[in-house]
Structure 1
Amino acid sequence: MRRTNSSARLPDDPATRWARDAVEGRIVVGEIVAAAAQRHLKDIVDRDGRDLHWRPEKAAHVLRFLPALLPITAGAKAGQPFHPLPWQVFCAGSLFGWRMNSGRMRFRSGWLETGKGQAKSPFMAAIGLYMMGWYGIPRAEVYSIGQDRRTANVLFTDAVAMCRHPMPGQEDEPEELRETLDSAGHVLIRGEGKNAWRIEHPSTDSMFQALANGEAISGPRPAAVLADEIHEFKSGHSIETWQRAIAKMPGDALMLLGTNTPASTQPVGTTYSEFYQKVARGEVKDDQAFAFIARVDKADRETIFENEAAWPKALPALGVTFPYENIRGEVNTARVLLSTAMSVKRLYFGIPTGATEFWIAEEAWVAVQGEVDEARLKGCRCWLSLDLSKKNDLTALSVCWQDASGHLWVKTFYWTTRDGLSDRAKADQAPYDEWVEGEFISAVPGAVIDKTFVAAEVQRICAEHEVEFLAFDPAGIADFMAACGEIGFPVWRYKGPDEPEGQGLKLVAHGQGKLVRFEDRQLTMPRSIERLEDRILAETITIEASPVTYSCAANAHLDADGQENRAFDKKRSRGRIDGIVTIAMAVGAAMNELGETGPSVYETRGILMA
């Protein structure tokens, strides 16, 4: 990161001092935070004619307010004034100190991403209280939102606690005489104890309320929307809705988003994080977006457990309010447990990883994601597999080709209904509308998936490729066969070697449970899962990269019996798994037909668990 050459022209306020220290190496920060600090300094001295003004006195107002009226409510410093941590000084100063010609706040959105335990939630709660009653907006509306009621209440509960704990400056008073914001009448809290649901500021007729994802109110006019735990959001619908509400506000309004580093299987958090990283680095020009993303650098990732000097890059409160002993204990455990290592790297050090409960070692899954070119695979033998939806949820069709080298290539097609798409996205907590727009899913008209769309795609594939047969989940296959009849596409159901063959595409049943049949060429899920795992671990398969497929794989839960026969359990999975089910079926069909034998990868490499 280059140093600023205009130090003499920079003001000496706390936020700018912190930015200078970050850029000039006097405090330990990662590359993304350093870029955000450099952006702050550059904008002060070189605005390029933009409508931007640095107003240190505006920044000072919020920095004075926090310790003057708000207490710390938990931890070793409980009861002391809420003096913002150094990283919070930069964030609060930036959010309120930057102005436009009109005097309005520059930033309409802010993204705060740090490791666990860095006091994001209390800081966001304090900002919410400030904008509710002490920033100067009459009838201000402040909302805390979350994926569900629990996450919506994370920072709101902190705000309630600040209002119920004694205000600073009363340390010499007897405990029974100490006043809180609530008891002094500065605020009114609706709801008793942990059931508090709204804070009101009577003198300005303002309020602060918690809302779970999907809850709506009539005609909101938000001064601030605060959303913590963004990594847990399954859909971006509510964030986008509130962003539009913020955009419509004529005066000051702010949407502040907080998170730990999201996993690769948390698409909402990942998408927003990637956008704000680009803003911080200057790759995306957005003068109304603020980003503070505390992660260790890529060069630190391999040795992060040993390199304590790099820890403050992701843990900016380390050694201040977050003891070194806390993270050292986590690291010591992570050194011996792979599953813990992955979560510690992501949650504390900002190293993006995947789901902590992935059905196979996720790094192995990632290694086989790629592009599958249908045209290049023409002439290769291939196998199909089908998992039909009951009504309107998700239908998946996988195709598995084997090329001349023996490598397998798998591509999956998905269908859902356009009717009720948004409601199902909320119910399944999956961004179906975004996937449809990105052409990862085909949305068909009607309330129930018309199986002729699926039949027509199977017919096309059979016309263009060397299809051996289609493996199917017995549930709903009669509807598929009827649809094939409607479009004039002949299919027949294989019932065993002693039964006569039919005309057209051969359909072979694939067992879905843990039962293993030993009859010749019987397709069962335990065998298919093992064969898919063997291929993934040996990297002799390429699976078409798709957010839908990745989501299905991340949602999957494997159930096993006493003989370690395993099958995917839809009821215990975290969401739709149709894509990973059909991929296993297609690979099982291909390898069963090919008669591949020999030792399993597990015998030579061992089992890798995420």
Structure 2
Amino acid sequence: MANRFLSDPDPTTAWAKAAVEGKLFTSGELVRHAAERHLRDIRDGERRGIYWRPEEAAHFLNFLPSVFQVTDGPAAGQPFYPLEWHTFVGGSLFGWRNAQNRWRFRSGWLETGKGQAKSPLMGAIGVYIMGWCDIARPQCYAIGEDKATANVLFRDAVAMCRATIPDHDEGDSLETRGEVVIRGELQNAWKIEHPDSGGFFQPIASGDAQSGPRPSYVAGDEIHEFSNDYSIETWKRAIDKVAGNALMLLGTNTPATNQHVGTSYSSMYQLIAKGEARDDSAFSFIARVDKADRENVLENEKCWQKSLPALGETFPIENIRETVASALLRPSTKSSVKRLYFGIDTASADFWISEEKWSAVQGAVDATKMRKRRCWLALDLSKKNDLTALSAAWEATVDELLAVKSWYWTTQDGLRDRAEADKAPYVEWVEDGYLVATPGATIDYTFVAMQVANLVAEQMVEELLVDVAFIADFIAACESVGLSVWRYEGPGKPEGRGLKIVAHAQGKKVMFEDRQLCMPHSITRTEDRILEERVIIDASPVTYSCAANAAIDSDGQGNRAFDKTRSRGRIDGMVTTAMAIGGATAHEKPKKKSVYASRGVRRV
């Protein structure tokens, strides 16, 4: 299918108008927001010092089919006419200027389903900036989580530089004409140089060091695979230092919720697209199906193009039909198909409970407003430098839902190494206040004891539920901070003064005495409240990560417990959330089966 907009004098704006007017299947909610932003900025952007220059957009859009041919797929050998969504993205990146006539956008985020020609576009942009933007000695880099990932879009660029220029004799390419020099043979190419500008384009793994780069272009592909954002932020700072034109362009499939780096960036660029965050230097194009499409996405072909904007142009619909048919026969693959092709941000492996239901109960929990409600605390102490979690659950009232909030601690020593090993952004969580890093190589339990003491002083705390591991060390820490505590030994046993500490069984064994404080009952109560939306859980990214990582083990009688050995990462916050809810609801008669266990998940 030909690009319907290239004949328009301003194809970028024509595409945006069509998206806003609902004339494109491509235009899901987030894409429409981006198109609306473009049209709004044309109308009033000059007051903010940003200017739309359609002739500059046309220079890039015309460059693609004039210099490159498609090197792969059913259109191989044809001129590289930009796809319809490329028209909007490429035109926007190069057509918008600021008051200094510099590119307006210093960063861009491209998120679509698989197979939508993100990599060829990003590779072509690298070659364009390297030699055809009048930049002296431009440095262009393709980065990835590893060298193989970085090479994906770079190899597209190499292939286009070696392919015959459209309407030229066979074999007449940028390389054979000497306009570019490619270092390395065949698949081992490692650098493209442009002699006239003195520029180059090369791939580099995220962890590889560079000495004083001054990049004009940094293209990061497969951002959902990044384990931390250190390299992205390092390159972004380098981009920010460049006085002239410079662009960092990040491409990805929709990240899973436990792919923290991609999720964090995607969330930020969604806010920018919707106008909920203002950054005139950041561009976003996020192609996902809408929330209303999620339940029947595998059956509703009409919504597929919202996340697959190249569908019908270079991406045959038969390809995705086959993938969907396979997913319907193999339910274990449904989650990944929904995420990778349709932009439904499920976990990379099945979420332990309906992720949609989990998301529905996330909100803000303000402890200062809970002082008139009874409170149960739950604590999971970690080994040495792992994650320690403390959760508080406030009882439900006639007017208020059961509420849960969690706090977390780890150690400062080795923080970045553990972040890389666990593929979790611990450094960012510490900086944002979601996680406390205590000094030294082991967690100082006095930090935890002080938080418990503060809650005891400010809240109507009934008791502290614990996994008994390391409890003696914690009691010693309580003594150090002046918090009186005592351990409950069972009915009829002497009681002490201060905070009551009660053991909460962790395994699959069901406890029939002492209010059933055991994991099978606590998990059931937690699931019921989440699925019935009768709880609000404070929206911490650490807690969300723990929930996404959690795995459940069950015995022959259906008794269940969290299984840390099978989990995909730290789950401590999910353990304490369940314990706290179990304590706050222990007076209720437990169900034999939860809503989840009896009916299953209806929507993912």
Q: In structure 2, what residue type is equivalent to 1:552? A: C
Asked if structure 2 preserves the Cα contact closer than 8 Å seen for 1:378 and 1:465, the reply is yes
Q: 1:455 to 1:297 in 2, by over 3 A?
A: closer
Q: Return the offset for 1:248.
A: 1.1
Query: Could you tell me which residue of structure 2 aligns to residue 4 of structure 1?
Result: none
Whole-angstrom distance in 2 between the partners of 1:245 and 1:489: 49
Asked if structure 2 preserves the Cα contact closer than 8 Å seen for 1:79 and 1:168, the reply is no
Q: In structure 2, what residue type is equivalent to 1:124? A: M
From 417, 426, 432, the equivalent of 2:426 is: 432
Q: 1:193 to 1:574 in 2, by over 3 A?
A: farther
Q: In structure 2, what residue type is equivalent to 1:220? A: P
Query: Could you tell me which residue of structure 2 aligns to residue 84 of structure 1?
Result: 82
Q: 1:590 to 1:128 in 2, by over 3 A?
A: same
Asked if structure 2 preserves the Cα contact closer than 8 Å seen for 1:145 and 1:152, the reply is yes
Asked if structure 1 preserves the Cα contact closer than 8 Å seen for 2:528 and 2:596, the reply is no
Q: Return the offset for 1:282.
A: 5.0
Q: Return the offset for 1:418.
A: 4.6
Q: Return the offset for 1:14.
A: 3.8
Asked if structure 1 preserves the Cα contact closer than 8 Å seen for 2:69 and 2:166, the reply is no
Is it true that 1:370 corresponds to 2:363 in the alignment? yes
Segment drifting more, 328-337 vs 442-451: 328-337
Query: Could you tell me which residue of structure 2 aligns to residue 481 of structure 1?
Result: 475
Q: What TM-score do you get using the length of structure 1 for normalisation?
A: 0.83
Query: Could you tell me which residue of structure 1 aligns to residue 286 of structure 2?
Result: 293
- Write the mapping of 1:519-534 to structure 2, written as runs, cut at 5 A: 520-521=513-514, 523-534=517-528
Whole-angstrom distance in 1 between the partners of 2:54 and 2:363: 50
From 564, 567, 570, the equivalent of 1:570 is: 564
Q: 1:158 to 1:495 in 2, by over 3 A?
A: farther
From 133, 136, 144, the equivalent of 2:134 is: 136
Query: Could you tell me which residue of structure 1 aligns to residue 121 of structure 2?
Result: 123
Whole-angstrom distance in 2 between the partners of 1:447 and 1:476: 16
From 401, 409, 417, the equivalent of 2:403 is: 409
Is it true that 1:599 corresponds to 2:596 in the alignment? no
Partner-residue secondary structure (3-state), 1:594:
coil
Is it true that 1:454 corresponds to 2:451 in the alignment? no
Query: Could you tell me which residue of structure 2 aligns to residue 359 of structure 1?
Result: 352
**Per-residue CA shift, 1:181-209, capped at 9, x if unaligned?**
55666555556665654444455443323
Query: Could you tell me which residue of structure 2 aligns to residue 70 of structure 1?
Result: 68
Q: Return the offset for 1:131.
A: 1.7
Q: Return the offset for 1:356.
A: 4.8
Q: In structure 1, what residue type is equivalent to 2:391? A: S
**Per-residue CA shift, 1:135-156, capped at 9, x if unaligned?**
3333321122234445434323
Q: Return the offset for 1:302.
A: 5.7
Asked if structure 1 preserves the Cα contact closer than 8 Å seen for 2:106 and 2:247, the reply is yes
Query: Could you tell me which residue of structure 2 aligns to residue 329 of structure 1?
Result: 322
Q: Return the offset for 1:300.
A: 5.2
Q: For structure 1, which runs of at least 5 residues remain unmatched after alignment?
A: 1-9
From 145, 159, 163, the equivalent of 1:166 is: 163
From 221, 229, 252, the equivalent of 1:259 is: 252
Query: Could you tell me which residue of structure 2 aligns to residue 104 of structure 1?
Result: 102
Asked if structure 2 preserves the Cα contact closer than 8 Å seen for 1:399 and 1:586, the reply is yes
**Per-residue CA shift, 1:37-94, capped at 9, x if unaligned?**
4554565576545544544443343334323443423222233332221221232223
**Seq. identity, %:** 59
Q: Return the offset for 1:249.
A: 0.6
Q: Return the offset for 1:579.
A: 0.5
Query: Could you tell me which residue of structure 2 aligns to residue 3 of structure 1?
Result: none
Q: What TM-score do you get using the length of structure 2 for normalisation?
A: 0.84
Whole-angstrom distance in 2 between the partners of 1:537 and 1:262: 24
Whole-angstrom distance in 2 between the partners of 1:403 and 1:524: 21
Segment drifting more, 483-492 vs 554-563: 554-563
Query: Could you tell me which residue of structure 1 aligns to residue 4 of structure 2?
Result: none
Q: 1:15 to 1:381 in 2, by over 3 A?
A: closer
RMSD, aligned CA: 3.8
Query: Could you tell me which residue of structure 2 aligns to residue 7 of structure 1?
Result: none
Q: In structure 2, what residue type is equivalent to 1:457? A: Q
**Per-residue CA shift, 1:517-550, capped at 9, x if unaligned?**
6574475444433343234334443323322211
Whole-angstrom distance in 1 between the partners of 2:146 and 2:576: 31
Q: For structure 2, which runs of at least 5 residues remain unmatched after alignment?
A: 1-6
Partner-residue secondary structure (3-state), 2:119:
helix
From 370, 382, 393, the equivalent of 1:400 is: 393
Partner-residue secondary structure (3-state), 1:326:
helix
Q: 1:143 to 1:425 in 2, by over 3 A?
A: same
Q: Return the offset for 1:213.
A: 3.4
Partner-residue secondary structure (3-state), 2:599:
coil
Asked if structure 1 preserves the Cα contact closer than 8 Å seen for 2:165 and 2:173, the reply is no
From 187, 205, 208, the equivalent of 1:212 is: 205
Is it true that 1:587 corresponds to 2:584 in the alignment? no
Partner-residue secondary structure (3-state), 1:483:
helix
Q: Return the offset for 1:358.
A: 0.9
Q: In structure 2, what residue type is equivalent to 1:224? A: Y
Whole-angstrom distance in 1 between the partners of 2:583 and 2:19: 57
Partner-residue secondary structure (3-state), 1:398:
strand
Whole-angstrom distance in 2 between the partners of 1:242 and 1:603: 45
Asked if structure 2 preserves the Cα contact closer than 8 Å seen for 1:132 and 1:201, the reply is yes
Asked if structure 2 preserves the Cα contact closer than 8 Å seen for 1:534 and 1:600, the reply is no
Q: 1:101 to 1:314 in 2, by over 3 A?
A: same
From 12, 15, 18, the equivalent of 1:15 is: 12
Q: 1:248 to 1:496 in 2, by over 3 A?
A: same
Asked if structure 2 preserves the Cα contact closer than 8 Å seen for 1:115 and 1:261, the reply is yes
Whole-angstrom distance in 2 between the partners of 1:402 and 1:386: 17
Q: 1:439 to 1:255 in 2, by over 3 A?
A: same
Q: Return the offset for 1:105.
A: 2.3
Segment drifting more, 393-402 vs 38-47: 38-47
Q: Return the offset for 1:396.
A: 0.7
Q: In structure 2, what residue type is equivalent to 1:543? A: I
How many residues are matched?
Answer: 594
Asked if structure 2 preserves the Cα contact closer than 8 Å seen for 1:35 and 1:281, the reply is yes
Asked if structure 2 preserves the Cα contact closer than 8 Å seen for 1:440 and 1:548, the reply is yes
Partner-residue secondary structure (3-state), 1:88:
helix
Q: 1:559 to 1:105 in 2, by over 3 A?
A: same
Query: Could you tell me which residue of structure 1 aligns to residue 550 of structure 2?
Result: 556
Whole-angstrom distance in 2 between the partners of 1:217 and 1:341: 41
Q: Return the offset for 1:360.
A: 1.0
Whole-angstrom distance in 2 between the partners of 1:380 and 1:26: 53
